[in-house]
Amino acid sequence: MLQLGSRTLVMGVVNVTPDSFSDGGLYLDTDLAISHALRLLDEGADLLDLGAESTRPDSHAGEIGSAAVSAEEEQARLLPVLEGVMKARPEAVISVDTYKSATARAAVNAGAQIVNDVSGFTWDSQMAATCVELACGVVLMHTLGMPEEWKTQPALERESVLSLVRDGLLASLRAALDAGIPRGAIVLDPGYGFGKRFDENYDLLARQSELLSLGCPLLAGVSRKSFLVRTLAESKMYSGQRVTEEARETASIAALAAAILHGASIVRVHQVKAAVEAAAIADAVLAAR
């Protein structure tokens, strides 16, 4: 059981992939991935999110049985890391970042407690029933379109971004509840960067707290997202020059604090220590309010 609301929980990201947009290939080696996961726990992560397929723009994620990473390959990358972490830290809370029901089943059977589906149960028709059977927690994220479409999708009307996300999350929530997943097992994720282009993400972040009307806690994943980098690149300091890694992390922390102040109960991050510290300050502001 995770208590949500008394303080912000920090979810540390472990990408066991060769091509994730921010750290692809760094932790493809099983031992390196396990060491990284344990380091994130030592730095204060409340839970980990393990993923073995990139959903970056231009990827073919979601195309089950086509050009996407197969469930077999995904599990071959993921399960040894999951098992290694659980062996070293049996008390760890592990989320598996997958939209495939077969991988969700294998991961939960290996010790994961949460399924984080970036498609919100829309890319695999068996996912909802599988999660009911597994009795696991679920994170349902909003995604607009498919990754290979994101760069060419038409811009959204600024006033429609929130309603579009709310409607999509409501549909995913209803699918989960109708399948038999308890409301208390569900967290919703607005899906920053997943089909939202640049400033559309700020429109969403500014009104994120309105999504609490759906009756579920919120998870926000703003760490290292490209809309933050673009803002810096267009600023006076950089004027289109390459944004440093340090600046990218600073921007991530700023967006993380905004997400917490706008209702997020969980934040998904790549660098845990700074996120834990920033979350403590944001939580203090909320407590004072």
Catalytic (active-site) positions: 225, 268
- Token pair listed for 229: 């980098």
For residue 80, what are its two tokens?
Answer: 């040894």
Alpha-carbon gap, residue 271 to 13, rounded angstroms: 8
Contact residues for 284 (Cβ-Cβ < 8 A; gap 6+): none
Report how far residue 240's alpha carbon sits from residue 232's, in angstroms, rounded to the nearest whole number. Answer: 8
Please name which of 142, 108, 113, 124 lies closest in space to residue 216, comparing C-alpha atoms.
Answer: 142
Please, are residues 198 and 229 in contact by the beta-carbon 8 Å criterion? Answer: no
Give CA–CA dist 129/57, Å, rounded. Answer: 28
Helix (H, G, I), strand (E, B) or coil at 83: helix
